[in-house]
Amino acid sequence: MLNAIWLVIATSAILVAAWQGPEQLTAVAESIFVNAKSSVQLVIGLVGVMVFFLGLMRVVFDAGLRDVIARTLTPITRRLFPEVPSDHPAMSAMIMNMASNALGMANAATPFGLKAMNELAKLNRHSGSASNAMVLFLAINASAVTILPPLGTVGVRAAANSADPWAIWMPTLFATICSTTTAVLAYYALGRLPLFRHRPELPGDPTAQAAQGNDAEVEETSEPVSAGLPPESPGRANLRRFAVLGSALFVVVLVGLSFAELFQSEGFFVAIRETLRVWALPILLMAALLYGFAKRVRIYDSMVAGGRDALSVATTIVPYLVIILVAVGMFRASGALDFVIGFIDPITSLIGVPAEVLPMALIRPLSGSGAFGVMGDILNAHGPDSFIGLLTCTLMGSTETTFYVLAVYLGAAGVVDGRHALFACLAGDTAGFFAAVAACHFFFG
């Protein structure tokens, strides 16, 4: 299905540009080179983040957190992902991805998601075709419930001098709950259709061979790098426990002082919100490092081993990412996006959606950076605290960049047939859009 959609986007961009004249065709041609370059730059930035966070995940895995997570969440994960063993690395990576998304840490969630897809590929018996676990994980990931609003959106609102940058918190939470629920229900409903059954095994499938090659690279470092350490003396063990407890207590005191200061000046709810926003990522990093230290993990060596896994995944996703972002850039540069907006505006205006918001609704599933640009333009034109500005920001946080997620994650797993993943994700996007509209009308009038 992604093949058909990519073809429609690219050809329609060329046809619309040709209809408007040579200048528009020139703009489309220039957008190809600009977006191809920016796509590679995006991958370079993504590689650095992946190396660090997958290295951090390797630390806690070597420390045994994977087994703890598996035992704790087995009743839930068995129902959602029955084909994935509870102690498999894919399960831990998926849980870390979902937790990062829930806390609004999208940069941290992406490396865990790519690692999860790479591990799920090892369990996939259908070469080049997404497994049920892959499809469900993509549906959840592309419509993730966000307990905290996306920090980037809040930052843009604050930079635009909003009186209350966090006003979109509750509408965003409601919209993401509706989005995720719909995406999961669509996964189960669509999976019953014969159209989305697994395709037969393809002998010599290059994507399957690529996935197997990546698996081999990952397997080389699958053994914990701290395995086989000699027993630790009681004195050193007690000293280690004292260092871990002392560091944890120090962090708790700092968080408490930060909360108390905010509580006195801003009140309880603002203090909770700001404390979570500021401390969520540092606490995650500190907890992972202290947990690894407590379990005698060689932190540096473990992180390097995890970083090698990230590099093998990153090299796989480059062509998928470049090709999808170039097509999206062509679509925007041709004016086809403006044509679509003008066509659907009479319909959406009937349900209380201003025409000024439609560019965000259409570009959000296609491009995260493009959506940020559109959001900035709308806030500059209409103000961050207008209904148009509030709805735009809520839409920004209500769903993910669906086509980006599908292209990159399926590429990481060496999959060319996503089955019903696209439709499940788009169902979540649609539900998130209508839920965001309803929530903004409820909260902001």
Q: pLDDT per residue over 162-188, tens digit each?
A: 887 778 888 888 999 999 999 999 999
Average predicted confidence (pLDDT) for the chain = 78
**Residue-wise over 188-226: b if at least 16 C-beta within 10 A, else e?**
eebeeeeebebeeeeeebebbebbeebbeebeebeebbb
Q: Percentage of the chain surpassing pLDDT 70?
A: 81
pLDDT of 210 reads 38
pLDDT of residue 205: 43
pLDDT for residue 38? 76
How high is the pLDDT of residue 435? 92
Q: Are 55 and 65 in contact (CB under 8 A)?
A: no
The DSSP bridge partners found for residue 417 are 129
Please determine, for residue 335, whether its predicted confidence score (pLDDT) is greater than 90: no
- pLDDT, residue 42, reads 65
Q: Phi/psi of residue 399, each to 5°?
A: -140, 180
Rounded to an integer, the average pLDDT of 352-357 is: 81
Amino acid 187: pLDDT: 93
- How far CA 240 is from CA of 59, 237, 297, 372, 388, in Å, comes to 17, 5, 12, 46, 55
pLDDT at 222 > cutoff 60: no
Tokens representing residue 400 in the block: 């993910």
Confidence of residue 200 (pLDDT cuts 50, 70, 90): low
Per-residue pLDDT tens over the stretch 58-103? 787 778 765 666 566 667 777 888 888 877 888 888 887 887 777 6
User: Mean pLDDT lowest for which of 39-48, 115-124, 186-195, 326-335?
Assistant: 39-48
Report the C-alpha gap between 187 and 105 in whole angstroms.
25
Q: pLDDT tens digit string along 228-251?
A: 566 766 777 778 788 888 888 888
Ramachandran category for residue 232: left, alpha or beta (phi over 0 → left; psi -120 to 50 → alpha): beta
- What is the C-alpha separation between 343 and 34, in angstroms, rounded? 28
pLDDT band at 193 (very low <50, low <70, confident <90, very high): confident
Alpha-carbon torsion (172, 177, 180, 182), positive or negative = negative
Q: What is the pLDDT of residue 138?
A: 92
CA distance 236 to 279: 30
Q: What is the pTM of this model?
A: 0.65
- The domain locations on the chain are 2-229+296-444, 230-295
What is the pLDDT averaged over residues 412-430?
Answer: 87
pLDDT at position 242 = 81
Residue 104's pLDDT band (cuts 50, 70, 90): low
Q: How confident is the model at residue 203 (pLDDT cuts 50, 70, 90)?
A: very low
Contact between residue 424 and residue 187 where contact means Cβ atoms under 8 Å apart: yes
Ranges 8-22, 113-127, 188-202: which has the least confidence? 188-202
Share of the chain above pLDDT 90, in %: 9
**Rounded mean pLDDT of 1-12?**
77
Which pLDDT does position 245 carry in this prediction? 87
CA-CA distance, 324 to 31, in Å (whole number)?
13
Specify which residues 129 forms β-bridges with: 417
Rg (CA), the chain: 23
